[in-house]
Amino acid sequence: MTFEINGSNGIYDKYIQDESLKYGRNAVNNHKKLITNTIESGLDGNAPILDFIPTNAALDNNIEKVNVFIEENDNYLKSLPAIEYEYRYMPKPINGNIDKKALLGAAYEEMGADSMSVREFENKFLPNNRYTAKPLDINNDGKIDVGEYSLSMLAADMLSKNNLDVKNIDGSMNSKGMNAVMEYARISNAEAATKLYSQINTHYSFNQVA
């Protein structure tokens, strides 16, 4: 069963007046809550309390407790149904026009800053040195701002539909698109990523939101 995560309501309802910015930031915050709750809502039981008395019996008892806990946790994770959802980070485009404020608000909420250096971005969002964020640095100033980061969100949107035509952007993405964008972040795919983000940037011109 597929459900939708969106920004129609959320933590920023009382704090942001602009409806578009509020939607984008709510959407990301709601998505983060989904991910966090999925990770943290595991077993009802607590982790085992270990015995630190320096005896062989205590050591054997600790090993047994840990093994039982690991087995229970593994069984729990295997029992969970696959989570399928649509992540709507901005409202549906109207007559082909995307809501740039909602998009940039979502980008800001994901980045947690208006901009950061390419190196800082890589350290924060990429898993290891086999990945690069340089293709997102469209203006080659050594930084990635929310406008440039938003290109990766639009790319994930397109890749969720198996189609690299900007006309198919509808303000939503799924796990397939998000995973595909991460694949584009591999250094080995940097040339393809640069072309993809340049294509999107040519179609949509972004200015950083203060």
pLDDT digits (tens, 9 = 90+) for 13-23: 999 999 999 99
**Residues whose CB falls within 8 Å of the CB of residue 181, separated by 6 or more in sequence, listed in order:** 152, 155, 156, 159
Domain spans in the chain, listed from the N-terminal domain onward: 2-38+84-203
| Predicted structure pTM score | 0.77
pLDDT per residue as tens digits for the range 62-106? 778 777 777 776 676 665 555 678 999 999 998 889 999 999 999
Question: Which of these ranges, 77-86, 125-134, 185-194, has the smallest mean pLDDT?
Answer: 77-86
